[in-house]
Structure 1
Amino acid sequence: MFNNKVLTKNEIIWNAIIFVAVIFTAIEAPFSFIFQTKIQKWQLVSDLIISGLFVGDLIFRFQKKREQNMKFTSKGHRLKWMTLMSVDLIASIPYDILSYALGFHAFTYFRLFRLVRVVRLFEIVSHLAFVPKAIKFTAILTVFSVAVHWISLCWIMIAPIDQAQVIDRTSHYITAMYWTVTTLTTIGYGDITPTTNQGRLFTMVIMILGVGVYGFVIGTVTKMVQDGERYKQQNREKMHDLASFMKHYNVPERLQQNVFSYYNHLVTKRLTENDNKIINELPQALQSELSVYMNMKLIRNLPFFKNLTSSCLKEVAGALEQKYYGPGQTIINIGETGSEMYIIGHGSVEVILSDGNVVATLHEGQIFGESALLHDTKRNANVRALGYCELYRLDKEQFDEITTRHDELIDRISSLTSRRSGDRSERHSSSVKRIQQKLKEQEEAA
């Protein structure tokens, strides 16, 4: 769990749990200290839970280090890791429970040691680059809210409000927070002003700090919004350029539709137009492995591949070969011995019998030619591209190798083949009945 490491899903969830525990402590501990509240039962329960979480965090870190067999590359690296472990160890002490058990409720400084848990927050925040945008935004907003909370409590301590003007603790706290927000946002209505030198000095520091903090928060949120819209804007500009290109060269409408259709497919399939450029800068071995995961995203949501194990999906994705076909181009010829199946990534194909009848039209996400993977039979229909198609080919030899380790794949292929054979039999029976009915009508007419 170091800063240059991409977090797994489990690590993100665990860090989120620790984050909530730390934020709770960061809010409750200084509030209880400033207002000198007595320990309540709910505080004992929460302190026990949070202490248990930090014990679990300590164990989790040790297990992670043992699993990865990590070695320290320098003394600084070792010191950093030991410091983090020490923080977890100190943070796991149930200070509220100890205070309550020892009976010194008034010894509030001891309870304040719980704030050592906040140190863990800095490491969690350093991982925000590797989490989804919504989580990142929520975390930044939460940390900013805690900062406002702390400044408000400091204002109460340094420049206390006249108790005659305050009815209750809640009003006291809200008044202090109101001052903090107006000062940090540089609005400063002037209805609440410091009356002591300490208060004035503190206010000046917050004013200067507020300019930077306010600018940082606004800049961070703006950047996150712009990052989300950047690729959409690039795609809109590309579509506009394509439209201008088509108009300038008087491209036929049919071809325009094919071009726009394929480009829309690329937009939905890729994260950005730099996907290939990103992986092309990596070594060949890494390129191959990343390509597997790009193919996995393609096939994972197809009905045929749903509920298959991740290891099976990964092997299938690694075996897929990308193919392109133009309008009218034959993909499968009737009578030839098949040795592969195809997944339609983009476009449509039509299935044609020997008599020229079109019996099916297949679209994006559908599969054809699968019977060749189970039986060395000849193709019983032609398959032809209706437009520009992007297909993914799975070879029989690779399929046989995968099914030796994953029986569920051969079961799925068998089920699909049987179902389609049944559909063909029904269509054939219906055709025979229609022909017989037509002959009967002709005889009666004669």
Structure 2
Amino acid sequence: ISLTHRVGKRKEFAVDGTSFVPTVVALVCVEVFTMFFIGSRMVVAGRNGQWEVVDSLQEIRRRYRRSWLVPDIICALPLELVFFGWWWEGYRWMAVRHFVRVPRILSLSTSHNPLLASRVWYQFVSIISFMIFGVGCLGAVFWDIEPQYAFEESAYWAIATVTSVGYGDITPKSTRGQLFACGGMFLGIVALSSVTAFATSFIMQKDALKAEEDAIKETMDAMLNHYDVPWPVQKEVVQGMQGVIRRRHEGAFSDVVDRLPGFIAVKLRSYIAVRLLRCIPAFRAVDVASEILAELGTRLERVTHKPDAEVHPRTTPLDKLIIVSSGTIAGLALDDDGERETLHGVLQPGDYIGQGCLTGTPGDSMLDPGLSFRAVEAAETLQLARVDFEAFVSQHPECGDEIVENLRANRTGGLDVSAFGTPRR
């Protein structure tokens, strides 16, 4: 608007076209971008209200036609060019319709996913852009009211007024200009306050899990200092805090999943199982769609273990894959005298035992006879029986055979991943 206003001001239009060409180029770029934007909104997902997701093409187009299609087309059509060169007042008033873009652009700050917050960074950038846009318009109108100043001086006055600097070297002389300056001052206060608020929100914005984690850390540090806990003990606490925070997040997520409708919870748990299956090299190396692995995930049995409960007893044949989904499980071995158990390793979420038993290879169905596994705390495991795995392989031979080959190829000597995945000493 500032550019076109300057071209349209009396006696400023260059006959040789030096002002006409950049103005038309700027207008054409704006219109082309808007038309591209209209086309893209026909396929971009959105939402109605707070929770209703609109992601099918038919619903997206219907929703767009009923909401922003008409304003977008009005802004896209080059209506101001009808008055270009012969009626500048009509040209400028027609250009004012582009202010409709302000609420339109702000409406895009809402994600189509109801679980995500508004895009604060987008709002911040939009507010900055609008402020620059408004300052240009303010200077253009001031230039029209106070013709004794050049356009550059009017733009300088607008910036000084909006930012509350007000050097006083350029001032309105007419009553109309003074009234306009008062409006510019109020506009500057609102704009500057909005930019400051959005900047603070943008800088202070944190991921929800990260914010909760920082709060737990600060609370723990304050309590340790309150009770004068020595530093060597604090170091041990620090080493155990990662598991505590992870289990807290997993527990909160699990509680929400349990409260969802049953058929949704089953699907969600199957994809959680896919994530855990991907931790196993044999499954991670297979190029297979997540939907197929999710089907395998539905065959996983969810088992909870109380503290000190035995997950897998010593010398008992193992005919299933056991993946730790939450909690901590200790691998215990008998000492040389066979009288006392010693800690051999620790299984954390994502670790597993019994990978080799799924292939049916001799010797794979038994863990080391000297090992047993016990829950150190409340834990949860996902267990895949050999018979369920064989049924999956028969239904999906294109990927099942490859998984079997990977399971056999990943066996090594001694304490290997098929018996004890990623052990922690």
TM-score by length of 2: 0.64
Q: Summarize deviations over 1:170-197 as a string: whole Å, max 9, x none.
A: x5576255225413xxx54545443333
Identical residues among aligned pairs (%): 15
- Counterpart of 1:31, as a letter, is S
2:108 corresponds in structure 1 to 124
Tell whether 2:289 aligns with 1:309.
Answer: yes
Tell whether 2:129 aligns with 1:158.
Answer: no
Structure 1 residue 138, shift from structure 2 partner: 2.7
1:60 to 36, 40, 43: 43
2:69 corresponds in structure 1 to 85
- Partners of 1:136 and 1:333 in 2: CA distance: 54
Alignment of 1:151-300 (within 5 A): 151-160=134-143, 171-172=152-153, 175-176=156-157, 178-183=159-164, 187-223=165-201, 225=204, 228=207, 230-240=211-221, 243=224, 260=241, 262-266=243-247, 270=250, 274-276=252-254, 278-279=256-257, 281-293=259-271
Structure 1 residue 141, shift from structure 2 partner: 2.0
Contact kept? 1:58, 1:88, Cα under 8 Å:
no
What is the number of residues matched between the two proteins?
A: 374
- Counterpart of 2:135, as a letter, is S
Contact kept? 1:293, 1:314, Cα under 8 Å:
yes
Q: Summarize deviations over 1:146-176 as a string: whole Å, max 9, x none.
A: 221232123223322978875xx6x557625
- Partners of 2:168 and 2:270 in 1: CA distance: 62
1:331 corresponds in structure 2 to 312
1:32 corresponds in structure 2 to 3
Distance 1:265 1:293, change over 3 A: same
Tell whether 2:420 aligns with 1:415.
Answer: no
- Partners of 2:106 and 2:155 in 1: CA distance: 27
Distance 1:122 1:284, change over 3 A: same
- Counterpart of 1:309, as a letter, is A
- Partners of 2:374 and 2:238 in 1: CA distance: 15
* Equivalent position SS for 1:143: helix
Tell whether 2:356 aligns with 1:374.
Answer: no
1:441 corresponds in structure 2 to none
Q: Which has the higher helix share?
A: 1
2:419 corresponds in structure 1 to none
- Counterpart of 1:394, as a letter, is Q
Structure 1 residue 202, shift from structure 2 partner: 3.1
2:384 corresponds in structure 1 to 395
Structure 1 residue 215, shift from structure 2 partner: 3.6
* Equivalent position SS for 1:160: helix
- Partners of 2:44 and 2:242 in 1: CA distance: 49
Contact kept? 1:38, 1:105, Cα under 8 Å:
no
Contact kept? 2:320, 2:357, Cα under 8 Å:
yes
1:8 corresponds in structure 2 to none
Distance 1:260 1:105, change over 3 A: same
- Across the aligned residues of Structure 1 and Structure 2, the Cα RMSD in angstroms comes to 5.1
2:126 to 143, 147, 170: 143
Structure 1 residue 144, shift from structure 2 partner: 1.2
* Equivalent position SS for 2:172: coil
Structure 1 residue 86, shift from structure 2 partner: 2.4
Q: Summarize deviations over 1:101-152 as a string: whole Å, max 9, x none.
A: x99566772883883655642431344885977x923311221122212321
Structure 1 residue 308, shift from structure 2 partner: 4.3
Distance 1:189 1:384, change over 3 A: farther
- Counterpart of 2:320, as a letter, is S
Contact kept? 2:110, 2:119, Cα under 8 Å:
no
Structure 1 residue 369, shift from structure 2 partner: 0.4
Gaps of 5+ in 2: 8-18, 47-52, 417-425
Q: Summarize deviations over 1:323-344 as a string: whole Å, max 9, x none.
A: 4475695535334141333246
Distance 1:81 1:180, change over 3 A: farther
- Partners of 1:232 and 1:137 in 2: CA distance: 21
Q: Summarize deviations over 1:358-406 as a string: whole Å, max 9, x none.
A: 9984654333201222328631423435954845323225434544247
1:20 corresponds in structure 2 to none
2:420 corresponds in structure 1 to none
TM-score by length of 1: 0.62
